[in-house]
Structure 1
Amino acid sequence: MNSQTFLRMRFACKLTFAILGALVLGFYLQLETPRWSAMTAAIVAAGPALVAGGEPFAGAIRHRGMLRVIGTFVGSIAAVAIIVATARAPAVMLLLCCLWAGFCTWWSTLVRVENSYALGLAGYTALIIVVLASSSLREAPQFAVERCSEIVLGICSAIVADLLFSPRSIKGDIDRAVTRLLLDQWALMKLCLHQAEKADIDRAWNGLVKSTTAINAMRGSLMMESSRWQRVNRRLKALHSMSLSLITQACETYLIMQTTPELVPVEIKRLFDEPVADLHDVRKKMKQLRQIVATLRSDDIALPLYSWIGSGTRALLMITGIHTNSSISSIESNVLNTEVVIRPASAERHHAMINGLRTFVSSAIGCLLWLWTGWTSGPGCIVIIAVITSLAMRTPNPRMMAIDFMVGMMAAIPVGSLFYMVIMPWTQQSLFLLCLSLGIFIFIIGIEVQKRRLGVLGLLVGSINVLVLSNPMSFNVTTFLDNVTGQAIGCGIAVVVLALIRDKSRDRTGRTLLNRFVSSAVSALTTKAYRRRENHLPALYHQLNQLLVMFPNDIGKYRLALQLIIAHQRLKLAEIPVNEELSAFHKQIRYTADRVVSARREGKRAYYYQRLLTEMAEYQQKLVAYQAPLKVTEPVRRLCDLLHNYQRAFLE
């Protein structure tokens, strides 16, 4: 048995223990609906495994569980507030619940991905409580408390299962990833110095951006694992910024090699020709690079190459601390406290509005269908609609996620029928036999969910949902078929709404991202010390990663965005003359660039863009008048040419 098979079987055991533990405890505590505890344990444990494509790292289940607790409590409070305010108007009450679900989905699209799960839960939890408690609204507070108790029980069961079955630490993966990261940085600079083919440089650059982003994501998982990794977390955060700086400086060196290759000393090029096998070799080469640079004048070497050597040296210092988790030295402390990282603002406002509209419309259609027909399974149909639309909206492809759920829910019909009509009556009210039969099914699902099979997670959740587990169990086939039909129709309504309300915000979001690159490049024109300490690179590369996801085949957008990132970094390091008139003009240019980003009408956007071009041309003249050095005027000129040559890409 290889290690991958062992890890998959271990997680399958973990998932089985979590779900069955929640179910048994639910029966023992005589909860009203113990299946909610089992469903919670299934979603909390299996969700991260589906995303990761394998056993999730330690802490991921705990983090998802805490988000679910927060979302459930917020949703329960919202549900009670809506019932108290509109108990005498059922239609208005349901409308407010649909609006609340749409609002939470809209908000979840704008926040960080790892925190959006709580908002999605808050949205549909309120709808679930109001719909299921509609027959007796006076008992709604009690129902909300029971709902929270069931959720907490399921989450505790999942966390205990994670702790019992040897949680998988991410620290080893981080150590290997940061070592590989610096080797790849060395390889990228080698390609840039030797003027390799653009396709090879694009491939190396793209891989480095992805690996840097992945390491930063691992940082979050490491902190979920244990608080003893605080020092490693600080170093990883700094290494993330340094890696982005190294990528930017290498690409700028490639551009400089095309115009002024004499600024790259021959000794340095020869050093990069020598083979590098491991991190120890990189340390030796970096030491030799520093020795070569120490013998040169500042005008004899390209500034990006000089900065790359400094950033690489600091990155080596951070990697050593990451491997050892040792105390932070005074030298490291100075490196860690040099810059203030700026978080990116969301560029998906229109996309968020569409997501919120989809959730509201689909939930409202389910409520109208229920009110119009009086269908006994209407509440179940509404719950499925809310769950699918709330959770699918934050994924890159909501429609495919909804189809995945629908396939799983449809497959749950024959599987649930087999359990309900054959296997469960055969157990004859024996809890042991029930757990044995369900355990075999869950174990198989636990293996398949790690392979990202289509519809597997929906099959697990849908099967538990249609088996209305109670003690003692009653087998009413009509009620079962009614519930199954409601689940299937709810999936169908969600998919149809997602297909009809199309999201055409991709081009608009792409243009907004490009304009934000322009605004960030212009924002580097400042003489204020506190503004020059701001590190925009993580935000810029986060937006660049969004472009990569939205336009996977448009290499022109990547190169344009990368040139703007290079311009931002170059202007940030430029020694702009300190002058009150220039400082006032910097503020005016930044204001105009921000108006280009925020303008909603094309005419207004074009007006501010032309105004920005005019102000940049005037700024160039002011720099000449104040006798600014070439290291300042040259990057400003390149930025002006870039804005002039690609204005159609920024406006259309």
Structure 2
Amino acid sequence: MMQWHRLRFPIKLTFAIVLSLLVGFHFNLETPRWAVMTACIVAGGTAFAAGGDPFSGALRYRGMLRIIGTFLGCFAALVIMIATIRAPVVMLLLCCLWAGFCVWLSSLIKIENSYALGLAGYTALIIVVSVDANGSVLLAPQFAVERCSEIIIGIVCAILADMLFSPRSIKQDIDREIDTLLVDQYKLMQLCVARADREEVDKVWTGLVRRTSALNGMRSNLMMESSRWQKIDRRMRALNTLSLTLITQAAETFLIQNSRKEYVPSQFHIFFDKPVQNIGDMHKRMKIMRRVITSSGSKNTPVTIQNWVVAATRYLLLLKGIHTNSSISRIEQEVLDEEPVVKMRSAESRHAVINGVRTFVATAVGSLFWLWTGWNSGSGVVVMLAVITALAMRMPNPLMMAKDFLYGMTVAIPLGSLYYVVIMPSTQQSMLLLCIALGVMAFIGGILIQRRQIGTLGALVGTINILTLDNPMTFNISTFLDNALGQAIGCFLALMVILLIRDKSKARTGRILLNRFMYAAVSAMTTNQARRRENHLPVLYHQLFMLLNMFPGDINKYRIALTLIIGHQRLRNAEIPVNADLSAYHKQLRHTADRVIAARSDARRLHYFLRLLAELDIYQQKLRDYEAPLSVTEPVHRLALMLKKYQNTLVQI
């Protein structure tokens, strides 16, 4: 039997669609279906991405992105039409170029913000195509204003529905996750100290990396809810770094344990043998551990365990403030201000170019074919090409999203025919019956959407689109068939574009990510205090998470990346001798490592990589000459050996 909370989203979606329909007809909007479609897309798309009823704030945030994208697209459409009003072909091609540019740019920014740019790209094309289809360019300003106003109405209805039907706060989920995450960090350290099976440790490492990334995403959702969570947001940013530090220190403990006997003294083996069940047990274990470290002395305590205990203690300090949302204390402030976080550069530049080219080529060819043939369904084909290539390209699996649209639009033809030919003509004289008819479809669609049933969202949106819902209502079968066929054919052609214009940038992106890990480890060899204080962990683990998603079954790439992250952290804290000779050589190492990343051919990349290996050998000799301690020479030697071992992977992935 379905639980009642599973019905909350279908009711919310039904309310948003019916309310937008009522408002659209009440104010005599020219095309109220845009308001209905917007409410459906904003509410349904957010739930489909969340796999259920979205958390509070997520729907509002998506609505704001849609408003921004719509206004930007309308403005771009008006500028293009004013500049090229006497050249329809140039006008359409410029709109296609604008759509491609927006998709390219959206592929380089954060995925949660990319929706606005993708929408801005295809909104301009929709307006120009619709005006051309109606045969009056003078209607463009009116058309843009109507689209903006109707979309705002749809978004307001979706947000109102979200507010009325008990929005789900993510705060309780965060409170539970931060507790269990620390307990599982302790269990990982237990496995590493006990020299557990490598595959078991890899599985736990991977799980903790994914959960830490998910927790950081929860922070973004929490900030969408309300500005009163600002203090928690600051704490969770620091907590993200601490969680990654715990993973790194545990992983390094495991690597050293397997290469050096008796790295962890017996008293720490005894300590980590005892299980921990909850956060209360963690408080007790950390108190005992701090006493053990104090009594043993720092020289008798492995540096990785000492760093792990420091990070876990700070984690517990911030955890209490996240639970209570209390004022930030002086001690917490010191933890929050400790290290500036480095921002990440996108590694998907080639992928972004391919995405932009796909959108431009698909829409340009579709537009030229439509102008040449004058096909009635051509405008619908161009619109669907723009929508799918703009939205699907930023998804992890664009092909699957294109298939989802195609399946949905195929289902929309018989479903829309039933409504258009039988149900809606019978309810034309009654707004109540029309609302009930659309409400039943929305409710059933809402149940399937939160289950992520493939094709459901496309079928719901496609059906609403081909029903036209004009004011006043007219039932022209030929217009209906043109719209339905245009949608389906447009989806099929978009799928063909994705299949024909192959994205071969996956291997290149993976190589760039691995080389960036290498560069991070090399650049950690510095005596510049400002550079040493920079916190690279969030960026490095974000790139590691990307690597996991791109190559989910390749555990070797994961191990290489994790080992390089460990090397970066160890070298960052190493006591490198301070002198002009080493400082100058650090600059030379960074320059060579940067050339490895920037090289455009395998031959040049191999040349600079071999030069880097030779320079690392010279650097190790310099460290011996300057009598650097083991804490410096050991990680440098380990880094050089690893780069030699995985040379083929780093150069010719």
TM-score normalized by structure 1?
0.98
- The answer to whether the Cα contact below 8 Å between 2:9 and 2:446 also exists between their aligned partners in 1 is yes
1:634-649 aligned within 5 A: 634-649=634-649
Matched, 1:394 2:356: no
Q: Which moved more, 1:366-375 or 1:561-570?
A: 366-375
- The answer to whether the Cα contact below 8 Å between 2:31 and 2:471 also exists between their aligned partners in 1 is no
Q: Which residue of 2 aligns with 1:424?
A: 424
| 1:436-462: CA deviation from partner (whole Å, max 9, x where unpaired) | 110011001011100000100001110
Q: Which residue of 1 aligns with 2:409?
A: 409
> Pick from 98, 102, 110: which aligns with 1:100?
98
Q: Which residue of 2 aligns with 1:207?
A: 207
Which secondary structure state, in structure 1, belongs to the residue aligned with residue 166 of structure 2?
A: coil
Q: Which residue of 1 aligns with 2:83?
A: 85
Q: Could you tell me which amino acid in structure 2 is paired with residue 495 of structure 1?
A: L
How far residue 324 of structure 1 moved from its aligned partner, in angstroms, is 1.1
| 1:432-487: CA deviation from partner (whole Å, max 9, x where unpaired) | 11001100110010111000001000011100100011222111111111111111
Matched, 1:166 2:166: yes
Distance (Å, rounded) in 2 between the aligned partners of 1:642 and 1:24: 66
Matched, 1:62 2:70: no
- The answer to whether the Cα contact below 8 Å between 2:30 and 2:471 also exists between their aligned partners in 1 is no
Q: Could you tell me which amino acid in structure 1 is paired with residue 270 of structure 2?
A: R
Matched, 1:13 2:11: yes
- The answer to whether the Cα contact below 8 Å between 2:381 and 2:490 also exists between their aligned partners in 1 is yes
Q: Which moved more, 1:590-599 or 1:553-562?
A: 590-599
Matched, 1:140 2:137: no
Distance (Å, rounded) in 2 between the aligned partners of 1:252 and 1:81: 57
- The answer to whether the Cα contact below 8 Å between 1:429 and 1:472 also exists between their aligned partners in 2 is no
Which secondary structure state, in structure 2, belongs to the residue aligned with residue 484 of structure 1?
A: helix
- The answer to whether the Cα contact below 8 Å between 2:32 and 2:471 also exists between their aligned partners in 1 is no
Q: Could you tell me which amino acid in structure 2 is paired with residue 294 of structure 1?
A: T
Q: Which residue of 2 aligns with 1:593?
A: 593
| 1:24-52: CA deviation from partner (whole Å, max 9, x where unpaired) | 11112222211111111111101111111
Which secondary structure state, in structure 2, belongs to the residue aligned with residue 201 of structure 1?
A: helix
Q: Which residue of 2 aligns with 1:480?
A: 480
Q: Could you tell me which amino acid in structure 1 is paired with residue 187 of structure 2?
A: A
Alignment root-mean-square deviation, CA: 1.1
Q: Which residue of 1 aligns with 2:26?
A: 28
How far residue 605 of structure 1 moved from its aligned partner, in angstroms, is 1.2
Q: Could you tell me which amino acid in structure 1 is paired with residue 380 of structure 2?
A: G
Q: Which residue of 1 aligns with 2:526?
A: 526
Which secondary structure state, in structure 1, belongs to the residue aligned with residue 544 of structure 2?
A: helix
Q: Which residue of 2 aligns with 1:361?
A: 361
| 1:159-207: CA deviation from partner (whole Å, max 9, x where unpaired) | 1111011100000000000001001000000000000001110111111
How far residue 274 of structure 1 moved from its aligned partner, in angstroms, is 1.2
Q: Which residue of 2 aligns with 1:236?
A: 236
Q: Could you tell me which amino acid in structure 2 is paired with residue 639 of structure 1?
A: L
1:374-523 aligned within 5 A: 374-523=374-523
Q: Could you tell me which amino acid in structure 2 is paired with residue 106 of structure 1?
A: W
How far residue 385 of structure 1 moved from its aligned partner, in angstroms, is 1.1
Which secondary structure state, in structure 2, belongs to the residue aligned with residue 504 of structure 1?
A: coil
Distance (Å, rounded) in 2 between the aligned partners of 1:51 and 1:200: 31
How far residue 262 of structure 1 moved from its aligned partner, in angstroms, is 2.6
| 1:262-309: CA deviation from partner (whole Å, max 9, x where unpaired) | 331211111111121111111101111110000123232221111001
Which secondary structure state, in structure 1, belongs to the residue aligned with residue 107 of structure 2?
A: helix
How far residue 571 of structure 1 moved from its aligned partner, in angstroms, is 0.5
- The answer to whether the Cα contact below 8 Å between 2:613 and 2:643 also exists between their aligned partners in 1 is yes
Matched, 1:327 2:331: no
> Pick from 42, 45, 55: which aligns with 1:44?
42
Distance (Å, rounded) in 2 between the aligned partners of 1:275 and 1:513: 37
Which secondary structure state, in structure 2, belongs to the residue aligned with residue 384 of structure 1?
A: helix
Distance (Å, rounded) in 1 between the aligned partners of 2:113 and 2:565: 28
Q: Could you tell me which amino acid in structure 1 is paired with residue 52 of structure 2?
A: G
Distance (Å, rounded) in 2 between the aligned partners of 1:523 and 1:457: 47
User: Runs of 5+ in structure 1 lacking a partner?
Assistant: none
Q: Could you tell me which amino acid in structure 2 is paired with residue 141 of structure 1?
A: P
Distance (Å, rounded) in 1 between the aligned partners of 2:120 and 2:69: 4
Q: Could you tell me which amino acid in structure 1 is paired with residue 53 of structure 2?
A: E
Matched, 1:631 2:640: no
- The answer to whether the Cα contact below 8 Å between 1:35 and 1:465 also exists between their aligned partners in 2 is yes
Deviating 4+ runs (over 3 angstroms)? none
Gap change, CA 1:555 and 1:211, over 3 Å in 2: same
Distance (Å, rounded) in 2 between the aligned partners of 1:522 and 1:80: 51
Q: How many residues align?
A: 650
Distance (Å, rounded) in 2 between the aligned partners of 1:289 and 1:428: 75
| 1:542-569: CA deviation from partner (whole Å, max 9, x where unpaired) | 1111111111111111111110000001
Distance (Å, rounded) in 2 between the aligned partners of 1:91 and 1:208: 53
Distance (Å, rounded) in 1 between the aligned partners of 2:326 and 2:442: 42
How far residue 71 of structure 1 moved from its aligned partner, in angstroms, is 0.8
Which secondary structure state, in structure 1, belongs to the residue aligned with residue 262 of structure 2?
A: helix
Distance (Å, rounded) in 1 between the aligned partners of 2:122 and 2:431: 31
Q: Could you tell me which amino acid in structure 1 is paired with residue 82 of structure 2?
A: V
- The answer to whether the Cα contact below 8 Å between 1:37 and 1:154 also exists between their aligned partners in 2 is yes
Q: Which moved more, 1:396-405 or 1:133-142?
A: 133-142
- The answer to whether the Cα contact below 8 Å between 1:37 and 1:153 also exists between their aligned partners in 2 is yes
Q: Which residue of 2 aligns with 1:265?
A: 265
| 1:207-227: CA deviation from partner (whole Å, max 9, x where unpaired) | 111110110000000000011
| 1:118-175: CA deviation from partner (whole Å, max 9, x where unpaired) | 1100110110111111222222122111111111111111111110111000000000
Distance (Å, rounded) in 2 between the aligned partners of 1:651 and 1:105: 30
Distance (Å, rounded) in 1 between the aligned partners of 2:483 and 2:115: 26
Distance (Å, rounded) in 2 between the aligned partners of 1:137 and 1:565: 58
Q: Could you tell me which amino acid in structure 2 is paired with residue 567 of structure 1?
A: G
Distance (Å, rounded) in 2 between the aligned partners of 1:7 and 1:355: 39
TM-score normalized by structure 2?
0.98
How far residue 616 of structure 1 moved from its aligned partner, in angstroms, is 1.4
- The answer to whether the Cα contact below 8 Å between 2:366 and 2:381 also exists between their aligned partners in 1 is yes
Which secondary structure state, in structure 1, belongs to the residue aligned with residue 148 of structure 2?
A: helix
Which secondary structure state, in structure 2, belongs to the residue aligned with residue 114 of structure 1?
A: coil
Which secondary structure state, in structure 1, belongs to the residue aligned with residue 344 of structure 2?
A: coil
- The answer to whether the Cα contact below 8 Å between 1:175 and 1:322 also exists between their aligned partners in 2 is yes
- The answer to whether the Cα contact below 8 Å between 1:15 and 1:158 also exists between their aligned partners in 2 is yes
- The answer to whether the Cα contact below 8 Å between 1:263 and 1:301 also exists between their aligned partners in 2 is no
Q: Which residue of 2 aligns with 1:344?
A: 344
Q: Which moved more, 1:354-363 or 1:401-410?
A: 354-363
Q: Which residue of 1 aligns with 2:560?
A: 560
Distance (Å, rounded) in 1 between the aligned partners of 2:521 and 2:30: 59
Gap change, CA 1:48 and 1:428, over 3 Å in 2: closer
- The answer to whether the Cα contact below 8 Å between 1:216 and 1:240 also exists between their aligned partners in 2 is yes
Which secondary structure state, in structure 2, belongs to the residue aligned with residue 452 of structure 1?
A: coil
Q: Which residue of 2 aligns with 1:298?
A: 298
- The answer to whether the Cα contact below 8 Å between 1:377 and 1:482 also exists between their aligned partners in 2 is yes
Distance (Å, rounded) in 2 between the aligned partners of 1:226 and 1:204: 34
- The answer to whether the Cα contact below 8 Å between 1:20 and 1:439 also exists between their aligned partners in 2 is yes
Which secondary structure state, in structure 1, belongs to the residue aligned with residue 124 of structure 2?
A: helix
- The answer to whether the Cα contact below 8 Å between 2:47 and 2:54 also exists between their aligned partners in 1 is yes
Q: Could you tell me which amino acid in structure 2 is paired with residue 324 of structure 1?
A: T
Q: Could you tell me which amino acid in structure 1 is paired with residue 202 of structure 2?
A: D
Which secondary structure state, in structure 2, belongs to the residue aligned with residue 326 of structure 1?
A: coil
Q: Which residue of 1 aligns with 2:123?
A: 125
Distance (Å, rounded) in 1 between the aligned partners of 2:5 and 2:125: 38
Distance (Å, rounded) in 2 between the aligned partners of 1:75 and 1:145: 12
